[in-house]
Structure 1
Amino acid sequence: MRCVLPFALAGFTAAACALDTPYIEQPKPMWLWTGDETAAPACPDGAEPAWDGWQVEDPSPDCGECSCAPATCKPSTAYETFGAACGEETVPTNHVDLPEGWDGACFAPPLPVPTLSYASILYRPPVVTPCEPSPTPEPPALTAEIARACRADAALAPPSGFVSCMTSTVGAACPAEFPLRRVFTEHRIDYRTCSPCECAPPSELQCTVHITAYADRACEQAFDSATLSFTDDPVCHDFPSPSRPKFSALRAEPAAPIAGACAPVQRRSVVVDEIVRSPPEFLCCEQ
């Protein structure tokens, strides 16, 4: 860079020009070791490392495939009986509660509903559980290898396991005697996560259940039934006193094909956020 100064300041020309000239750091010899973090050797003569760092890498942005378990059709697990005809009472006299996750198999509650304690039964529609997406995957793993740079004596051969290198800067070309360019960073914080898998609504869904009430605990003496779709309102059936049996058990069976397949909103999960790194260290190495 050319430096032009007034005549009166000619005595300061050298100093001023020196201040105006950008500083260029001269390459320094280094010995470099790379490997598993737990096996990193000490620098020769017990010297402190110039730096320890991670190799700068560009991991894949892909986290993996997304999938969806189909929607399911489950019978309701709650039924009520009333002491009066349908619509005449709002408070049930008995709750017939079935186990959570009941699959519709014959179920007899511990105590049957006595003949004289109910006059109507309220049947509830089946329930559709939505498609379940596959778990959110983890981002691709980063390398577990580190690099240790030790200040070197250019006149000596590197210790076993180390290679000879020279420091470099961003954009600088490596010389022929040190042709391999390596880039490391002393610190990295991995903020990466993966986008969650999500399921679109079922392309087609039919959920209809045929519910049967039984007077015996073995589900052999049926006395009433109702067929409901998941979009139906609850249905109430009356039972006049002379024909009213004990309400002892229930069974529910699919009354129509169940189809509830879902496609993933996105076929693959992708990396979101990023790895934050400290400024890189550049080396030109023999190999």
Structure 2
Amino acid sequence: MRSTSCLAFSVAALLGCGEDLEIPKPRTDDNPVLLWVGDTADFPMCPEGRLDYWDGWAGVRTDPWYQNECGTCACSPAACVLPDMVKAHEAARCADEGIEVKFADAADPPGHCIKTSPPVPGDAFASVTITPPTMAPACRASAQFTPPPLGGTFARACPWTGEYRTGFDGLVCITPEHDGSCRPGFSARFEFQEKIRDARTCTPCECGEPVGGVCVVDVLLFSDTSCSDMLISINGIGTQEEICYGAPIDSPLAGARVVFARDEPGTCSPKATVSLVDGTIESGETRTFCCSSAEIIYGNADN
């Protein structure tokens, strides 16, 4: 089977080289077509924008190097996450339920001055519960892969418009005779299965539980929104349970800085090393075409 570029040369040769070459006319009683044949699935548009075409393929396969594989699975790190709140308590030693004080956008960027929300007045602030940093509970797997491209021979049959169309790079074809043979002048015989759909997908990549990693933060609390009057500096907070700290008497809580002292993400291993091709290529019935350029296609095979 010749590629699209060779077929384009073939039709040009039929049309323009040799005034004594008789171009056989297709019969009009068996739905003649213009047949494009190529080695990729990049089908051209039919002449005159016709949409009543037929698509087929033959010898369809995936690249043999990747025929069962879509790609190698990988996992992102399990990131450390800064605490985004504390609990301010009116009672000493965190004896009451407390109120949540948010650190809006604490990680954007880490260490910048945060205005606490809401601000806590001095007469309502006797102790504070520090929320520890966390590690993401899971790693993000590779993005979903797409199946490897198909190889083979592809065809599109467009309705015959009554004249040869050099811009389409197609061959004029008719159906076989009743005995299955091709009549003289249309001796190039092609068989394609109807292209139904490529139903292949790729198995998803999944990650195991995170292992390793260390997340440690320093939390600095301030009585003003510009983070210039520091109340408490709490260093080396790891991923343990919440911890209670006392606050200076009659000092409001209005600002904070939160930074990583250690930011070592955990790692995950993919549950499967490779994403595999799943599903099949669906084909329909076989259709035979008798085309008018056998001597061009096969006669120039060595050129």
TM normalised by structure 2 equals 0.62
Q: 2:238 is aligned with what amino acid?
A: S
The structure-2 alpha-carbon separation of the partners of 1:239 and 1:32, relative to structure 1 and needing over 3 Å to count, comes to closer
* Residue 104 (str. 1) matches residue 128 (str. 2): no
Matched, 1:164 2:207: no
**Partner SS, residue 256 of structure 1:** strand
CA gap of 1:97–1:253, structure 2 versus 1, over 3 A, is closer
Distance 1:52 1:239, change over 3 A: closer
CA distance in 2, matches of 1:78, 1:56: 62
Inter-CA distance 87–117: structure 2 relative to 1 (3 Å threshold): closer
The equivalent residue for 2:57 is 54
- CA spacing shift, 1:183–1:260, aligned 2, 3 Å: farther
Which ranges of structure 1 fall in alignment gaps of 5 or more residues? 1-30, 43-47, 166-181
- Does residue 34 (structure 1) correspond to residue 37 (structure 2)? The answer is yes
In the TM superposition, 1:259-278 aligns within 5 A as 259-278=265-284
Query: Could you tell me whether the CA contact under 8 Å between 1:32 and 1:164 is conserved in 2?
Result: no
Q: Which runs of 5+ in 2 are unaligned?
A: 1-33, 158-172, 299-303
User: Which of 83, 88, 93 lines up with 1:81 in the alignment?
Assistant: 88
Question: Cα deviations across residues 150-185 of structure 1 (Å, max 9, x unaligned)?
Answer: 325745323xxxx612xxxxxxxxxxxxxxxx7631
CA RMSD of aligned residues (A): 3.5
SS of 2:60's partner is: coil
How far the C-alpha of 1:84 sits from its partner, in A, is 1.1
What is the number of residues matched between the two proteins? Answer: 228
The SS at the match of 1:69 is coil
1:225 aligned onto 2:228? no
8 Å CA contact 1:82, 1:94 repeated in 2: no
**Aligned counterpart, 1:114:** 121
Other-structure match for 1:124:
131
Match of 1:136 in 2: 144
* Residues 106 and 219, structure 1, Cα contact 8 Å, conserved in 2: no
Answer yes or no: is the 8 Å Cα contact 1:98–1:107 preserved in 2.
no
After superposing the two structures, state which structure 1 stretch, 133-142 or 252-261, moved more: 252-261
- Pick the structure with greater CA Rg: 1
User: TM-score w.r.t. structure 1 length?
Assistant: 0.65
The 1:98–1:139 alpha-carbon spacing in structure 2 relative to 1, beyond 3 Å, is same
Partner of 2:165: none
Identity %: 25
